[in-house]
Structure 1
Amino acid sequence: MSAPVCLPQWGHTWVDLPVLRLPMPEEELIPCATGCFQLPIAIDTPEDPVERAVHRWFLGHHGAFLVWRFLSASLDRLIREPDSQLVRQAALGYDAYSVMLAYSGSCSREVYEDVIRPMMVTFDPAFSGRWARDHEPLPGLLRRARAALGPVAAAPLTSASKANLVAHMEVMRRLVPGGPSLLRESGRARMSTTDAERARFDEFFLVSRENVCVSRYRAHRAAVLSAIGHDLAKQPLSPEYGETLRTFATRL
């Protein structure tokens, strides 16, 4: 069974989502104990448009946390075992991450400015995606994987990772057109990220760092992907997003 390392004091209760329980990026999932079982993980999408937008912001980030973990493992293995199938797997991870970016950032600019951004400012005036500890190793792992493969073999991975950067920039352009990030506005942009800031990022997005067993992790991952998939089926953003998530889920 999963055993908590520490119990965070959640800084807000804006979102009705189950806490996402994850090990630290460098730690493995633990084996399930004898008789381990899972309680159902329910994720319901609100009908109110503003509540749905906030829900998507948080649930999409939960999806991103899970994809980051997948990408980290995939790229690390690819560095050690250059293989075309592993290249396609890692590229699919970047495609799934692009879906999470589009999904979490699918709100209107008005909702972002009036509701979501103030949430982050209230939580921490310098709040930044740079504090995401699970994403931190990915740029370095990507560079090493591409170097190990060479430009031709790495082409699918290069294409998917570049498309992911474009997806990220598109969300930023639409929600914060020409505006500075909270981190820049705070004057802390030149400072190195601290463990306290990494913990704040986790806390804001309802992530608890714990010893997590395999079945618990897989159950929550399946619930997150299923909830996003069902939401996109009801209110689509782009036709290919649902198919990307379905394909990603089958590769896990």
Structure 2
Amino acid sequence: MSSLEARRTDRTDLPLPAAGDWEYGGYPYGLEPLTLPLASPGSSPAAHRRSDGSPPPWPGTWRTPSPEFPANAAVDLTDPLGVDRLFWFRWITGHQVTFVLWQLLASVLAESAEGPGGEARAAERARRYVRGYSLMLLYTSSCPRSVYDRLIRPHLALQHRHLSGAWARDYHPVRSLLRGRLPAGLDDAPLREECRLNHHVHEGIAAKLVPSGVSLLQQTNQHQEQRFLHRDRLSSLYDCVFLTVRAPASYEQVVTQLVRRLHAIGQDLAANGLYPAYAPSGHEEPAELRAPDVARCKETLLPDLSRICDSATAAAS
């Protein structure tokens, strides 16, 4: 199933995933809090060596789960909350993965700004992280529109009636890159194309889940006085929705949390597929999400998760 060994690192008490039954969150589709630093943790090898000068331990290569495993990842359709629990897991965990990918992408940007050297490797890592963001958009939005309208959107509105992804703390350092404005050290055609694809997917997701085009932020009564909070408080509200806390964390700790989540997502996809037969939503997808390049993303989703793990763990080895 997976070559990831159950082991504990010297800097975090979170075990890396092991072959066996589902263990993330304590039960299938359970959640875990995410701990991230306020700024990117960086990825310079020298910054992450242990006190004896050796590099930190890293897991082996992540491999695609087999469809037969784990048996207990199948959703219990007799449980009234079974389907809701699956899609809430996807919404929260997929966003947590996105936050980590944004931080890792910011680390690549910081490295490219430090000077020449390793541009090709940095651009490759950046491409994989942008691809990972596109995959998480597809993963989190895989619910039927009825589930989004009944379960997800009301929960977001309860946190703040105008909750917006613009409040995401980790997005701002990578916003320019994702919009196609690449720094000189990372300006290559494949990365530019990956950013174009990400924008295409993002527009398609919005059209699928909110065909009216009216977000929570846009549901503002112009005749009602608005008392806006400071941006830092809005970002904290956004973090709280996705069980994310801010505290000092090393690159190793951040990547360990990423690997755990991608491992659980892989188990989910192996057991249920991107669009579960018992809760299909592929027919609700607009033309943007049926385009050939997006279809290829869906087909290579699990192998791409493996490559993201490889890039993240290799950066500090």
Into which bin does the TM-score normalised by the smaller protein fall?
Answer: 0.7 to 0.9
Tell me: CA distance 1:163–1:124, structure 2 relative to 1, closer, same or farther (3 Å). same
Distance 1:222 1:164 in 2: 22
Quick one: which of 193, 197, 202 aligns to 2:239? 202
Q: Which has the higher contact order (CA 8 A, sep 6+)?
A: 1
Q: Is 1:174 paired with 2:208?
A: yes
TM-score, normalization by structure 2: 0.65
Offset at residue 185 of structure 1 (A): 0.6
Structure 1: runs of 5 or more not aligned = 3-14, 35-43
Aligned to 1:129: 165
Tell me: CA distance 1:66–1:112, structure 2 relative to 1, closer, same or farther (3 Å). same
- 1:134-145 equivalences under 5 Å are 134-141=170-177
| Count, aligned residues | 231
Which has the larger helix fraction? 1
Tell me: CA distance 1:244–1:193, structure 2 relative to 1, closer, same or farther (3 Å). farther
Distance 2:143 2:149 in 1: 10
Quick one: which of 97, 120, 135 aligns to 1:99? 135
- 1:1-252 equivalences under 5 Å are 16-26=30-40, 47=75, 48-79=82-113, 80-81=115-116, 83-141=119-177, 146-149=182-185, 154-186=188-220, 194-237=231-274, 238-252=298-312
Tell me: CA distance 1:215–1:229, structure 2 relative to 1, closer, same or farther (3 Å). same
CA deviation string 1:7-38 (max 9, x = no partner): xxxxxxxx84111011112555996998xxxx
Distance 1:130 1:92 in 2: 23
Percent of residue pairs identical: 28
Q: Is the 8 A contact 1:22 1:217 kept in 2?
A: yes
Q: Larger Cα Rg: Structure 1 or Structure 2?
A: 2
Distance 2:273 2:261 in 1: 17
What root-mean-square deviation, in Å, do the aligned CA atoms of Structure 1 and Structure 2 show? 3.1
Letter in 1 for 2:256: A
Distance 1:119 1:76 in 2: 35
Structure 2: runs of 5 or more not aligned = 1-10, 13-28, 52-71, 76-81, 275-297, 313-317
Distance 1:56 1:156 in 2: 28
Q: Is the 8 A contact 1:72 1:141 kept in 2?
A: no
Letter in 1 for 2:214: P
